[in-house]
Every structure is written in C-alpha cells, then in structure tokens.
Amino acid sequence: MTAIGIIGSKGRMGQALVSATAEAGLAHAGGVDKGDDLAALAAAADVLVDFSSPHALEGNLAACIAAGKPVVIGTTGLEERHHWLIDDAAQDIAVLQTGNTSLGVTMLAALVREAASRLGPDWDIEIVEMHHRMKVDAPSGTALLLGEAAAAGRHIDLAQSSERGRDGITGARKQGAIGFASLRGGTVAGDHSVILAGNEESITLSHRAESRMIFARGAVKAALWLTGQKPSRYTMPDMLGL
C-alpha cells in the first residue's frame, strides 16, 4: 500500500488530503508543519504532497531529494526562483508541480489551449477568478495556469502579454493580450472562467470548485501516479495523458 506524507498537514488542504488518502484506500504516512521533522516523514513515506508555503519550498525539496522520494507540489504563489529549484530537484526525483490539482481544471486548461490556438489573436481572452476572503495571492495559481494554457495555444509569452489590475484611463486593449481579474469574498473554494470574446460573439469556458476535496482527490491521484515515474518534472496533463 502506497504511503502518502503530507507537508502542510494542519491547513485546510492538509486536512482534506488526509480524508482523500483514506477515501482512496492508501496509507497516511503522517504530516508535518513548520518546525516538524520533515526528514523523518520523507523516510517513512513513499511519496510526499506539499501544500505548505513558497518560503518552505527549498527545504522541502532538499528533504525529498535526500530521501529519494517523489513529491507533488500544489503550493501556489511560486516565483521564478522557485521554478528553478523545482527544475534542479527534478534531476534527482520525480516532481509534479501544478497550480491546481483538480482533474476538471486540468481538462479545462486543455480546452483553453485548443480554443486559443484555433481562434487566434482576433479573439480577446479574459480570465476571471474568485476565491474565499482568506486567499493571499492573486491572480490564483489556477488563473495563471489557464493563462499559460492560452499563451501556449498562441505560442506567446504570458509574462509579456498579460494585463492585470486595470484602473483609470488605461487606453484601448492591446491585441493578443490575456487579461486577469481577481475577486475575493466569502468562502468560495474556487471559480474560474476564461472568456474568449470575438466580434459579435463570445465563448466562456468555466469551472466551479464546490469543495476542497476535488483538489485533494486530484493530488492523491497524482501522487499515486508519480510513484511509478522516473526523475523528471511533470504536470497534471502528463498524469492524464493530455
């Protein structure tokens, strides 16, 4: 039986992961939070799932490498340097990093990429996301994931093409730009819509998360899949064969 270790076990996602692990009939190797013995957990687990914080990522990856254990990283708010760390770690262990572990969002991203590719830059793309009032990063990791999917479909760099935080007189929208809007309030687990607006017609592709359990179940499925993979960097589409 595969044993899953949880990094960030006391958070909302950590608790959902404990439930999802039991639901899947897998073993729970234990959990750690800030100040706990991650090395011991890494030694006991077959695979780690990290939903902690960007500040902890470097130490978490080091512990996984030392133990030779694969890790699923669902932590959001990562910066460019964090991705460099993940790339380095993936030379020694299997790492699956994603801004969203939902299977539905993974499928949505594939649809967004296809639509952006087929429709072309004449169709404006806007990404709207809403989360609970306690979320600290914006745009959400999922919104950025969807933006990356749209950018990949158009073969452009999202960092050079995104528009965020419009306010005041901003001028006309640039052709080919990918816009982001972030809403916060209540207890919303996660709503995301990608609007493709053409001349006199539009398409909206949406996903609504009704519970954090969908992310936990996806993370557990990804962790189980990752245990059979060689050292490299993987994504949720890799897991689904997209």
The catalytic site residues sit at: 131, 135
Task: Using alpha carbons, list the distances in angstroms from residue 235 to 138, 142, 164, 177, 226.
Answer: 21, 13, 25, 25, 10
Helix/strand number for the chain, H first, E second: 9, 11
Q: Which residues are CB-contacts of 109 (< 8 A; sequence separation ≥ 6)? A: 145, 146, 148, 149, 237
Paired strand residues for 162 = 178
Alpha-helical runs (H) found in 68-186: 80-89, 103-119, 141-154, 158-161
User: What would the two tokens of residue 58 be?
Assistant: 């470097």
